[in-house]
């Protein structure tokens, strides 16, 4: 009896497998790693095999569309082909993200980047599109000034010795976004900030390990592992970090409502009738999305400028021509708009080091892409990093002139997407560019940056980081 049941069960699995393979036959046209190769990758701890490097190597080895059977019955495509990216990212239908995004909610809250309830996402995206307007960006610029002075003081006290830009800017990025969203100054709360950044690092390590493991992705099995404790602890700390401030802010607003015309971020969210839990979720997400991505991008830009004194000089001359010789003058929004060379430096840095090297979607229904009909229920990983390298000549060279107006037409369509594309693109892209340009203009006018000889960034991460940091030496700028 047992044997018969066993044979029936195995037959059902085999038939279902054959059905699935037939359903996804079109995907067989694409090359990809063998099952054995993939399982080796999935079973090894992600401290041994770096997921970032593995996915980058797959596009290099197999081309711009790679088939990966990460899950037994659901294929994933790893794509850096411009036409493919455009047709899905611009679509108003394929807005869903793969199911593992739900896991990110444990740490970040279920805010815009990870929302899988698309009707709710549409409503809340609309609310945020109103909030992230030009006035918001101008207010943001005044927040930068306070933090720029603190950053200056820290660097000034640590001249002529290596400073890790990554750690430094993450702390400041967090202070800025927190100040902007919640009006709280974290600059005197180093312990609290350090606890949060540590839990962020710990959480993302476990997350990467989990989503690429056929066993640990399962909640029941994951609960039996050591990492479960880290997962719970870091998620609790992340929630507490934002919630303790938000509760205080809302209580104060209830006691003395803001009746002026100048509304802050929480006022605008309260006016838009978002519930307390939704505001909390959105702010938790924005703290991570805003702080990590901008500090990563600014850190890499300064790191590369340290290796190019001639570009530092050129960018410095732009600041002198716009802001004059007084180093203590802060760039205003209108000055930032005139910084065209800085803009090219920022764009080139985001090409080499996109803060989001991979973005994700799930095909919700059969779809024609470039003349081929793909069945629904396929996860897609868009490799922005591969697109940024494979479509450019001498891709590892830092050449801001690629983005000069006369050269921009040489960039293939949809090959450059640091902020993604379409209805679900980055809502903070203008803020991010303004913030980066502001900080470059402030730091480069005060200091000259020098590289550490032979140091090359070891790239990794869901949000791009360097495993061996981004050390540079700051020296006071005399002229």
Chain residues that interact with ligand HEM, rule: CB under 6 A:
112-113, 125, 286, 289-290, 293-294, 297, 350, 354-356, 359, 418-420, 424-428, 431-432
Q: 395: which residues sit within 8 A by CB, 6+ positions away?
A: 352, 388, 389
Residue nearest ligand HEM, Cβ-based: 428
Q: Do you know the residue count of the chain?
A: 479
Per the structure block, which two tokens stand in for 208? 């990467």
User: On the CB side of 147, how many CA atoms lie within 13 Å of its CA?
Assistant: 26
Q: How far is the CB of 433 from ligand HEM (least distance, A)?
A: 7
Nearest to ligand HEM of 171, 448 (CB atom): 171
Tokens of 303: 């790191």
Task: State in angstroms the smallest separation of the CB of 286 from ligand HEM.
Answer: 5
Least distance (Å) between residue 135 CB and ligand HEM: 15
Nearer to ligand HEM by C-beta: 290 or 469?
290
Cα distances from 135 to residues 132, 140, 142, 262, 294, in angstroms, run 8, 8, 11, 10, 20
Closest CA relative to residue 93, chosen from 382, 358, 367: 367
Instruction: Give the nearer residue to ligand HEM in terms of CB position, either 415 or 432.
Output: 432
H or E element that contains 465: strand 465-466
Q: Rounded to the nearest whole angstrom, what is the least distance from the CB of residue 94 to ligand HEM in the complex? A: 11
Beta bridge partners of residue 367, listed in sequence order: 374
Taking the C-alpha atoms of residue 369 and residue 413, their distance in angstroms, rounded to an integer, is 16
Nearer to ligand HEM, 213 or 387 (CB): 387
CA distance 215 to 280: 31
Of 393, 283, 394, 301, nearest to 347 (Cα)?
301
Nearer to ligand HEM, 98 or 290 (CB): 290
Q: Which is nearer to ligand HEM, 38 or 112 (CB)?
A: 112
Name the minimum Å distance from CB 425 to ligand HEM.
Answer: 5
Contact 53, 460 (CB under 8 A): yes
Residue 98: CB minimum distance to ligand HEM, A = 11
Shortest distance in whole angstroms from residue 403 CB to ligand HEM: 15
Residue in this structure with the two tokens 């036959």, named with its chain if needed: 25
Of residues 32 and 290, the one with the C-beta less far from ligand HEM? 290
């Amino acid at each position: 009896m047992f044997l018969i049941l066993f044979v029936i069960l195995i037959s059902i699995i085999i038939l279902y497998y054959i059905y699935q393979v037939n359903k996804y036959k079109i995907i067989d046209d694409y090359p990809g790693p063998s099952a054995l190769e993939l399982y080796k990758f999935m079973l090894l701890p992600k401290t041994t095999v770096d997921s970032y490097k593995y996915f980058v190597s797959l596009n290099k080895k197999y081309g711009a569309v790679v088939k990966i059977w990460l899950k037994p019955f659901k294929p994933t495509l790893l794509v850096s082909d411009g036409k493919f990216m455009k047709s899905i990212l611009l679509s108003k239908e394929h807005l869903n993200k793969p199911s593992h995004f739900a896991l990110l909610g444990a740490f970040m809250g279920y805010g815009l980047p990870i929302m899988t309830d698309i009707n709710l996402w549409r409503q809340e995206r609309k609310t945020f599109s109103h909030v992230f307007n030009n006035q918001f960006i101008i207010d943001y610029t005044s927040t930068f000034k306070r933090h720029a002075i603190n950053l200056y003081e820290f660097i000034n006290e640590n001249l002529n010795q290596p400073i890790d830009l990554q750690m430094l800017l993450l702390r400041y990025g967090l202070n800025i976004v927190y100040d902007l969203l919640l009006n709280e100054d974290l600059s005197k709360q180093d312990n609290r900030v350090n606890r949060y950044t540590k839990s962020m690092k710990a959480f993302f390590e476990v997350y990467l390990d989990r989503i690429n493991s056929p066993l640990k992705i399962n909640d029941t099995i994951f609960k039996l592992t050591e990492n479960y404790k880290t997962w719970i602890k870091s998620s609790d700390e992340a929630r507490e970090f934002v919630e303790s401030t938000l509760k205080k802010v809302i209580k104060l607003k209830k006691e003395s409502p803001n009746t002026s015309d100048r509304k802050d971020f929480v006022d605008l969210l309260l006016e838009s009738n978002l519930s307390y839990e939704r505001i909390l979720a959105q702010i938790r997400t924005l703290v991570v999305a805003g702080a990590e991505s901008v500090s990563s991008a600014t850190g890499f830009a300064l790191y590369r400028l340290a290796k190019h004194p001639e570009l530092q000089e050129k960018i410095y001359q732009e600041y002198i021509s716009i802001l004059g010789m007084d180093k203590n003058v802060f760039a205003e929004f209108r000055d930032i708009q005139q910084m065209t060379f800085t803009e090219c430096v920022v764009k080139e840095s985001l090409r080499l080091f996109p803060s989001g090297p991979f973005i994700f979607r799930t095909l919700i229904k059969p779809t024609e892409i470039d003349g081929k009909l793909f069945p629904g229920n396929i996860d897609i990983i868009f490799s922005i990093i591969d697109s940024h390298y494979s479509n450019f000549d001498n891709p590892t060279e830092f050449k801001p002139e690629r983005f000069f107006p006369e050269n921009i037409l040489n960039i293939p369509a949809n090959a450059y997407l640091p902020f993604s594309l379409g209805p679900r693109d980055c809502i903070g892209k203008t803020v991010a560019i303004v913030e980066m340009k502001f900080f470059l203009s402030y730091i480069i006018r005060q200091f000259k940056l020098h590289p550490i000889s032979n140091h090359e960034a070891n790239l990794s991460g869901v949000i791009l980081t360097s495993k061996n940091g981004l050390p540079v030496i700051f020296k006071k700028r005399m002229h």
